[in-house]
Amino acid sequence: MIARRTFLKWGTAAPLILARPLGGSAAGATAQNTLVVLDGLDPSTDHARTAIVLDAFARKGLPVTCLVDPEPFSDPGTELLAVLGSRLKRAPGLIQVVPLVGETRKHDPVFSGTRGL
């Protein structure tokens, strides 16, 4: 698994990598059934690089889900929240922000799925 910091560092190169035409039959192909999930976004995350990464995925039409734990964001005016808000307006349907809610993040997926049964 790639570390969040490494992913964000690579974010500066993402527009160049995603904009480069591919050779062969993949040149006109569109990615199918692809969903990118960015996890662990908090106030210390570099907002400029996050914007670059989100813009690159939006240009290619790839949906991105940003998982955000609302607890560390005591000030609603943080730069990262402004970036996420502006990207939500710019690319509706491609970028979504999902808050982590209470104790649900501590349960494994099988337990969470069968808890209501």
- The model's pLDDT over 57-84, given as tens digits with 9 standing for 90+, comes to 999 888 999 988 877 777 766 888 889 9
> Which pTM does this prediction carry?
0.59
Q: What is the DSSP string of 42-76?
A: -TTS-HHHHHHHHHHHHHTT--EEEEE-STT--ST
pLDDT by 10s per residue, the chain, length 117: 566 666 666 665 555 555 555 555 555 555 567 778 888 888 888 899 999 999 999 998 889 999 888 777 777 668 888 899 999 998 888 899 888 776 655 666 665 555 555
> How far apart are the C-alpha atoms of 11 and 94, rounded to whole Å?
18
> Strand pairing of 64-68 and 95-99?
parallel
